[in-house]
Amino acid sequence: MSKQDNNVDPILDEELNENENEKVNENIDENEDTAEVDDNSVEKLRENFEKEKDRYLRLFAEFENFKKRTGRERIELFKTAGQDVILSLLPVMDDFDRALKEIEKSEDKNLLVGVELISNKLRETLRSKGLEPIGTQQGDTFNADVHEAVTQIPAPSSDLKGKIIDVIEKGYTLGDKIIRFPKVVIGQ
């Protein structure tokens, strides 16, 4: 380079420096704006992330509750799967009880033994499926949660007031659930 090139006009040199300074200042201002925009963007992203995280956690909890509920319903369904069939067989068991009472009055013991065998087989089959009779007898205290009162009659003695006088129809449970309440007569 020549000496002339090194000797740049001082006024021109000052203008160039001012232009460079302005450009630097503009870049600084732009960077500050970008930093503000970046802070706002990051904050918005964080808020969106928290919302989505909360939504995900709620959805996950809802799904877990659904799995538990359907599991319980499935277990309950298996326990009482044959409830309709068993309910339709209860009148047959009642008929067996009435038939046995009448056959006991006759003198044909072979007939009694045969009907008892069939009755016991039916009862054991239903018992294996979870059917249990509710043990209700004359003299038991009436419980509205377990018994169904058909009628009230004057008690034959004072100690039978509020107690069961007669059992008209047996009650049964299937598992832990009462499927037929015993029908009883209560002393007044």
- How far, in Å, CA of 142 to CA of 160, rounded? 10
Quote the pLDDT of residue 36: 59
Quote the pLDDT of residue 26: 63
Quote the pLDDT of residue 77: 81
| pTM over the 0.75 mark | no
DSSP string, 139-170: TPBP-TTT-EEEEEE--SSGGGBTBEEEEEE-
- How far, in Å, CA of 126 to CA of 168, rounded? 21
Terminal C-alpha separation, the chain: 131
Quote the pLDDT of residue 175: 80
* Mean pLDDT (whole number) for 43-57: 93
- Classify domain 132-188 at the CATH superfamily level: Head domain of nucleotide exchange factor GrpE (2.30.22.10)
Token pair belonging to 93: 């068991």
pLDDT digits (tens, 9 = 90+) for 72-91: 999 888 776 788 889 999 99
The pLDDT > 70 percentage for the chain reads 79
Q: Which residue has the tokens 């298996």?
A: 78
Domain ranges of the chain: 10-79, 82-129, 132-188
Higher per-residue pLDDT: 116 or 15? 116
- Across the chain, the runs of DSSP E, i.e. the strands, are 131-134, 148-153, 164-169, 171-174, 177-180, 183-187
Token pair belonging to 135: 């043990």
Reading across the β-sheet that carries 148-153, which strands appear in turn? 148-153, 183-187, 164-169
Q: How does the average pLDDT of the chain come out, rounded?
A: 84
27 Cβ neighbours under 8 A, 6+ residues apart:
none
Would the pLDDT of 29 be above 60? no
* Mean pLDDT (whole number) for 50-76: 94
